[in-house]
Amino acid sequence: MNRVLTTPVSEKDARALKAGDVIYVSGTMFTARDEAHKMMLERGSPLPVEGLALFHCGPVAQEAGTGWEILAAGPTTSARMELFEAEFLRKFRTRIIVGKGGMGEKTLAALGEVGAVYTHFTGGAGALAAKAVKRVAAVHWLEELGMPEAIWVMEVERFGPLVVAMDSHGQSLYKDLSVTVGKNMEAIRARIKGGN
């Protein structure tokens, strides 16, 4: 399946996604890294986010004329947000997480409870991401958190490709792959031992 989802994404549409699907997102996406997760859980969200896409990203932004422009916006390592994500999903019901590297068991369980997916965006593809950002709608907590940690609200068009890596049915490409790699490594070790 290769399709475009427009925000706000419904629980039904999020539950229809399966690990391995490739999707694109149009609509509203907001960034949150460690600090923003923590602060949103403490204070509440500065904007309604149910059904939106949450992006693990600290963009390079530049003030241009009437507003902000995003120059590069690749994903950051999602594992750091494992501390907050399950509670975050239950509280805010964002339906699509965008990041890289995958997340842990607590997040996987919360995805199933809430009806949401974790998607992987290509690490390092900062120029490709910035091209899909049509407008910066708002930036929250910039003074307090600084450019990388602030909440950037972006209007995006066909943001992707995003690989659904963890779905609401308990499937995780990362979990499956670590089993496969483990098996492959047994054969590789045997080859090295038997070689010259």
Question: In terms of C-beta density within 10 A (0-12 exposed, 13-18 middle, 19 or more buried), how is residue 189 classed?
Answer: exposed
Closer Cβ to another protein, 49 or 61, answer by number: 61
The one-character DSSP state at 23 is E
Q: Which parts of 45-64 interact with another protein (CB under 8 A)?
A: 58-60
The span from the CA of 39 to the CA of 17, in Å, is 30
Summarize the chain as % helix, strand, coil (round to 5).
40, 35, 30
Q: Give the nearer residue to another protein in terms of CB position, either 17 or 49.
A: 17
Using rule CB under 8 A, residue 125 touches another protein: yes
One of 100, 114, 116, 140 touching another protein (CB under 8 A) = 100
Annotated catalytic residue 56:
no
Write the DSSP assignment of 119-134 as a string of letters.
EE--TT-HHHHHHHEE
Residues that bind another protein (CB under 8 A): 20, 22, 58-60, 71-74, 77, 100-102, 120-128, 130-131, 160-161, 163, 165, 173-174, 176-178, 180-181, 184-185, 187-189, 191-193, 195-196
Which residues are known to be catalytic?
37
